[in-house]
Structures are given as C-alpha cells and as structure tokens.
Amino acid sequence: MYFLLLLKKIWNNSPRHNFGILFGKLRFVTSHSLLNFPRYTLSDVSFLGHTIKIVDSASFASMKRELFDHEIYKFIADKKDPYIVDCGANIGLSIIYFKRLYPDAKIIAFEPDKNIFNVLRDNITIFGFSDVTLLDKGVWNKEGVLQFYAEGADGGRIATNDDTSNLIKIKTTRLREYLQHPVDFLKIDIEGAETEVLGDCCDLLDHVKNIFVEYHSFNKKQQTLDRILKILTDAGFRYYIQSLGVVSRSPLWKRESSGGIDMQLNIFAYKNYDQAAS
C-alpha cells in the first residue's frame, strides 16, 4: 500500500505523466523517499559524505542519476588539470562530478538564477574545492541584462513572450570570452539558448576538445538542431546524440511536451575519434 501511494504521488507530479521523468523519479525512490522531499522546496540531503542543499527533489534525482550513475559527463583528458567551462551549473552536481573525475581540474561555471546560485556557492564551499570560479551570469550572444524565467529547479531559461510569472533580471556574458585558450570540456545546458551561444562563438570552437550540449526544441519555435550540428561539424567534431526527458512514443500520432519543450537531446561532440571509438 505504501508503494502504491508513493507511485500515485510521483505519477501525479510528473509533467503530463511523462514516462521519462517518471522513470527517473522511481529510480530515486530506491534510496530516498520522495514523500520527505517535496518539489521546489529547499532541502538538505546527505551526498557523498557531505550535507548539501537541493532546490527540487525531482531535478536532483534526475541529475544524480545522469551524472553519477550513468556518468554522461565522463571524458578523457590528456593532462591532470583539464580546463572545464560549465554553462548552467545549477546547484553544483556537475562541478562535484568533474572534481571527483579530475581533482585538479580548473573550472569556470555559470548560473544566472540568483537563488540557485546561492545554493551552488554553498555546495561548492562545503566540498572545499579549489580552482573553481563561479559566476552569477548567464551565457548569451552579448553582454547585458535579460529577463529570465526562474522555474525554481533546473528549467530556468531566458524568458519568452509566453512567460508572465517568476520573471527576474539576470546579467549575461558572452561565452566566447572564456574560449580564448584550449578547453578540455565545454558543457552547455542553458535551456534553449544553446543555438545562439554556439553561433556567437563558433569561430573559437577549434580550441575545444569535447562538448556536451543539451538541445531543447520548443513546440512554438523553429527548431534549430540543424544549425547546432552544422556548427559542430564545421568545427571538426564528430557527434553522438541521445534522447531524454520528453519522450513521444508515437510522434506522428501524438507528441508529448513538458514546459513547452517537445524534444530534448543530449549531444556529445568530440575530436579524438580513435580514442572515443576504442
């Protein structure tokens, strides 16, 4: 009975009963009870020997599964102190993963939502990492100030005309300013701004060895996957694509969406073809 009640709670809280999100939450139940972790609530959890803060139970479960169980950010570096640029650091799980993979890594991380940035800063301080620079800015194609939809978890994005609530002002900076020398890993998870940002720094991607891009297709906007893939191809990358999050089993019949997103992809791009294929 307890499990059935818990399953019902998870099902009802999953956007449009999306199976991908539901599966992620069920995996989380094996080690934590979601009944004690309400959504969009600041909470303390024990993680890797430290007590960290999370802002949302479901997004923490999903990030923990992807980063630490599946290790989607794992990459091969040819030196002990790789340079990593993390766009969309959220509460810091990606930084924690990178530092466990390469303790001497030098990391620059961006998180524009001030409330989440404060949690990010606290979490990184708790772990006592060195050579980590945190910037409370969003990456964009120009310096300035933009309206930002603060979703409260991992779905914050530059606001659109359809966004009428949870709006804040954020500072933006150009990613190209941080790609002026060799980059071992560039992570871009910025909820729809990825195409504009990559387009603005495409001439500097020859400095980058490995890229992760989370691509978001919004159901009311023109799709730009072709532009991203061309940018990566022109820069000499080979790519690998995974579907995640929003899953439409029969898309010609019925297309699912969540938060206005009708497709979400993980794009991994690399230049060392022989090593990646081994």
Helices (H), the chain: 2-13, 19-29, 57-64, 93-101, 114-127, 194-201, 225-234, 273-277
pLDDT at residue 143 in the model: 97
Helix (H, G, I), strand (E, B) or coil at 86: strand
pLDDT at residue 15 in the model: 47
* CA-based radius of gyration for the chain: 18
198 phi and psi angles, rounded to 5 deg: -65, -40
| pLDDT range class, residue 273, cuts 50, 70, 90 | low
Q: Which amino acid is at 228?
A: I
pLDDT at residue 205 in the model: 98
| Overall average pLDDT of the 27-35 stretch | 46
| Overall average pLDDT of the 244-267 stretch | 91
DSSP 246: S
Q: Is the pLDDT of residue 163 over 70?
A: yes
Helix (H, G, I), strand (E, B) or coil at 134: strand
Q: Pick the residue with more confidence: 14 or 153? A: 153
| Overall average pLDDT of the 11-37 stretch | 47
* pLDDT tens digits, 78-121: 999 999 999 999 999 999 999 999 999 999 999 999 999 999 99
Q: Are 240 and 268 in contact (CB under 8 A)?
A: yes
Q: Is the pLDDT of residue 235 over 60?
A: yes
Q: Is the pLDDT of residue 29 over 80?
A: no
* pLDDT tens digits, 121-142: 999 999 999 999 999 999 999 9
Q: Which residue has the tokens 């959220």?
A: 90
Q: Pick the residue with more confidence: 30 or 261? A: 261
Q: Tell me the two tokens of residue 257.
A: 């969406």
Q: Is the pLDDT of residue 35 over 50?
A: no
| pLDDT range class, residue 10, cuts 50, 70, 90 | very low
pLDDT at residue 162 in the model: 84
- Nearest Cα neighbor of 88 from 183, 225, 264, 213 is 213
Question: Which of 30-39, 61-70, 130-139, 214-223 comes out lowest in average pLDDT?
Answer: 30-39
Q: Considering only the top CATH level, what class is 65-277?
A: alpha beta
| pLDDT range class, residue 33, cuts 50, 70, 90 | low
| pLDDT range class, residue 20, cuts 50, 70, 90 | very low
pLDDT at residue 38 in the model: 81
Report the share of the chain in percent with pLDDT over 70. 85
Packing angle between helix 93-101 and helix 114-127, nearest 10 degrees?
30
Distances (CA, A) of 102 to 67, 123, 131, 226, 272: 14, 18, 12, 33, 19
Q: Is the pLDDT of residue 272 over 60?
A: yes
pLDDT at residue 22 in the model: 44
Q: Is the pLDDT of residue 13 over 90?
A: no
